């Protein structure tokens, strides 16, 4: 099983180029990140070249985090900011050969927010297609992100249908899906054609995957059985030093 280190959480105390080297040394096959924009593209590119690790994904900017924004694309009246964030993500991703961009919806509700999200996603998909990129949308759980627009895979499928573009896929984060819906094994099977990337962490604590209510030994077997061979994103929050948290790589994913 191939693994991608999510550097938004793993080695998050280090500059991104250093975190990429740490992921390589730990045996990861790929990396992904959240918001890499403060880091110089040339330095990140050099770290990727030196390690040979692909960067699989990054997120659009969240907006003004000082007032709690968590994405812009479903916010009515913020279309210009949302599209600037999409442009920024595509440019950064294009420079690093990153194939997936997670377009973050933000805190919003209702039909107007849905329509706004659809229009911004069409914009994102059409621009991303010119670079051969996929746009991802990710349902987030309502404990961590109360009021976030996109919360379930069912809602994600409605959005995908309404956008109607082949390069729009679901980020299936087992952690969020288990908290909001459960039934992770059946959902993975049913949604496979729509899944662009899979992430994992323990439930409910978002720690290493060898603990908690979701049995990842089983989930990883299910994923293997689906012939899904892309790296799975380790997006958990280590309770201390990241290197000391990696025992699960041998016991669960070895």
Ligand X SMILES: O=C(O)[C@H](O)C(=O)CO
Using the structure block, give the residue that is written with the tokens 């746009």: 135
Close Cβ partners of 153 (under 8 Å, ≥ 6 residues apart)? 139, 170, 172, 177, 181, 187, 191
Q: Rounded to an integer, what is the distance from CA 24 to the centroid of its chain? A: 19
The interface partner of residue 114, options being ligand X, Mg ion, none and the CB cut-off 5 to 8 Å by kind, is none
Catalytic residue at 69? no
What's the CA dihedral at 45, 134, 57, 231 to 10 degrees? Answer: -110
Taking CB under 5 A as the binding criterion, the range among 77-85, 147-155, 157-165, 230-238 that sits at the site for Mg ion is 230-238
User: Minimal distance in Å, beta carbon 136 to ligand X?
Assistant: 9
Assess 173 for contact with ligand X (CB under 6 A). yes
Out of 43, 79, 126, 138, the active site residue is 138
Q: What does DSSP say about strands 168-173 and 30-32: parallel, antiparallel, or unpaired?
A: unpaired
Assess 173 for contact with Mg ion (CB under 5 A). yes
The interface partner of residue 102, options being Mg ion, ligand X, none and the CB cut-off 5 to 8 Å by kind, is ligand X
Give the interface size with Mg ion as a residue count (CB under 5 A).
Answer: 3
User: Minimal distance in Å, beta carbon 50 to ligand X?
Assistant: 25
Q: What does DSSP say about strands 232-234 and 3-6: parallel, antiparallel, or unpaired?
A: parallel
Residue 77: other Cβ atoms inside 10 A: 9
Assess 32 for contact with Mg ion (CB under 5 A). no
Q: Can you tell me whether residue 107 is helix, strand or coil? A: strand
Enumerate binding residues for Mg ion (CB under 5 A): 173, 199, 235
Cite the active site residues: 138, 235
Enumerate binding residues for ligand X (CB under 6 A): 34, 59, 102, 138, 140, 173, 176, 199, 235
């Amino acid at each position: 099983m191939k693994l991608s280190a999510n550097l938004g959480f793993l080695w998050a105390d280090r500059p991104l180029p250093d975190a990429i080297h740490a992921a390589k040394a730990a045996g990861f096959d790929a990396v992904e990140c959240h918001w890499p924009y403060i880091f110089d593209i040339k330095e990140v590119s050099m770290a990727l070249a030196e390690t040979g690790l692909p960067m699989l994904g990054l997120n659009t900017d969240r907006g003004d985090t000082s007032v709690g924004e968590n994405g812009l694309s479903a916010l009515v009246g913020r279309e210009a900011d949302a599209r600037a964030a999409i442009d920024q993500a595509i440019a950064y991703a294009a420079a690093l050969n990153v194939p997936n961009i997670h377009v973050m919806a933000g805190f919003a509700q209702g039909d107007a927010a849905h329509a706004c999200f659809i229009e911004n996603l069409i914009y994102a998909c059409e621009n991303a297609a010119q670079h051969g990129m996929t746009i991802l949308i990710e349902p987030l759980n309502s404990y961590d992100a109360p009021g976030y627009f996109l919360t379930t895979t069912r809602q994600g499928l409605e959005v995908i249908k309404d956008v109607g573009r082949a390069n729009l896929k679901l980020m299936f984060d087992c952690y969020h899906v288990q908290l909001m819906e459960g039934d992770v094994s059946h959902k993975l099977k049913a949604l496979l054609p729509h899944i662009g990337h899979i992430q994992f962490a323990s439930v409910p604590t978002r720690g290493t995957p060898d603990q908690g209510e979701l049995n990842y030994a089983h989930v990883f077997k299910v994923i293997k059985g689906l012939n899904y061979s892309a790296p799975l994103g380790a997006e958990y929050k280590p309770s201390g030093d990241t290197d000391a948290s990696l025992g699960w790589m041998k016991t669960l994913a070895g």
